[in-house]
């Protein structure tokens, strides 16, 4: 519902209205379906090394005719897949404390060495 707020400072014919409604957007069935299939596309991009075009074509094939008007553009889908795949192959961050990292690896190595030696001795 909208109600009158004020008139313009220079022109009394100019009126400003205030809207009291909270604008909400109902989730249409097509938008929900697109989001669901898009999540499957992202998961598939992470789990497979299929060509990007094949993943996108399967995504589009999974949509109903009504939902095919709603999805992101082909270029946007390619970027989504590329981003997901790049996240998986990202270079690990540098350790905060290199000395602690080296000692942890050395401890793991020494533990493995001890286990192997104990197996050979018994």
pLDDT value of position 79: 92
Same domain, 105 and 82: no
Helix, strand, coil shares of the chain, percent, nearest 5, are 60, 10, 30
- Give tens-digit pLDDT for 63-115: 888 888 877 888 999 999 999 888 877 666 666 666 666 566 656 555 655 65
pLDDT of residue 99: 65
Please name the residue that has the structure tokens 């197996």: 119
SS3 122: coil
Is there a single domain that holds both residue 120 and residue 75?
no
Residues 76 and 117 in one domain: no
Higher confidence at residue 69 or residue 122? 69
Q: Are residues 35 and 82 in the same domain?
A: yes
pLDDT for the residue 89: 73
Domain count, the chain: 2
Asked whether residue 51 falls in the same domain as residue 81, the answer is: yes
What's the pLDDT score for residue 105?
62
Domain range spanning residue 112?
95-122
Residue 80 and residue 50 share a domain = yes
Indicate whether 10 belongs to any domain. Answer: no
Residue 112 lies in a domain: yes
56 domain residue, yes or no: yes
User: Taking the complete model, does pTM exceed 0.75, yes or no?
Assistant: no
**Gap between the Cα atoms of 34 and 46, Å rounded:** 18
- Tell me the C-alpha to C-alpha distance, in Å, between residue 35 and each of 2, 30, 59, 86, 109: 33, 9, 11, 21, 46
Listing DSSP states for 44-72 in one string gives: HHHH----HHHHHHHHHHHS-TTGGGSSP
**Angular region, 48: left φ>0, alpha ψ -120 to 50, beta rest:** beta
Q: Do residues 58 and 37 make contact, with C-beta atoms less than 8 angstroms apart?
A: no
In a domain, 67, yes or no: yes
Examine the domain organization and report whether 49 and 81 are in the same domain.
Answer: yes
pLDDT digits (tens, 9 = 90+) for 1-60: 666 677 777 777 777 777 766 555 556 778 888 888 889 989 998 888 888 899 888 888
3 within domain boundaries: no
Say whether both 60 and 104 belong to one domain: no
In this structure, are 69 and 112 located in the same domain?
Answer: no
Domain assignment present for residue 121? The answer is yes
């Amino acid at each position: 519902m909208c109600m009158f707020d004020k008139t313009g400072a220079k022109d009394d014919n100019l009126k400003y209205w205030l809207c009291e409604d909270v604008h909400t957007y109902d989730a249409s069935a097509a938008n929900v379906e697109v989001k669901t299939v898009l999540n499957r596309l992202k998961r598939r991009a992470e789990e497979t090394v299929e060509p990007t075009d094949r993943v996108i074509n399967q995504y589009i094939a999974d949509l109903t005719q009504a939902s095919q008007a709603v999805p992101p553009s082909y270029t946007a889908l390619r970027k989504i897949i590329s981003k997901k795949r790049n996240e998986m192959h990202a270079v690990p961050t540098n350790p905060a404390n290199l000395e602690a990292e080296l000692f942890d690896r050395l401890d793991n190595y020494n533990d493995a060495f001890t286990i192997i030696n104990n197996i050979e001795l018994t």
